[in-house]
Amino acid sequence: MNSWPETQFRLIESLANPDDASAWKHSEDCYHSTIYRLTRSRGRHPDEALDVVQEVLLAVHPQAMH
């Protein structure tokens, strides 16, 4: 795994507002592929890896996937 997203503290601060759809979309765009790649590198099948991505994103922000 060579490419990890750089933590953006301003983005993290924005995520404190659950209604900031732009921040949540940016966060999902930034971390989706990283979570997926990490999960696949641990031997999960593609469908399972997508389930893990969804579970992680839901754990961070339950409204993000609605």
1-23 tens-digit pLDDT: 457 777 778 888 888 887 888 98
Over the stretch 23-37, which tens digit does the pLDDT of each residue have? 888 888 888 999 999
Query: What one-letter code names the amino acid at 29?
Result: D
As given in the structure block, the two tokens for residue 12 are 């993290």
User: Cα–Cα–Cα angle for 3, 18, 66, nearest 5°?
Assistant: 80
Distance CA 9, CA 38 (A): 22
Over the stretch 33-59, which tens digit does the pLDDT of each residue have? 999 999 999 999 999 999 999 999 888
The whole-number pLDDT of residue 20 equals: 87
**8 A C-beta contact, residue 57 and residue 32:** yes
Query: What one-letter code names the amino acid at 21?
Result: A
As given in the structure block, the two tokens for residue 31 are 């971390």
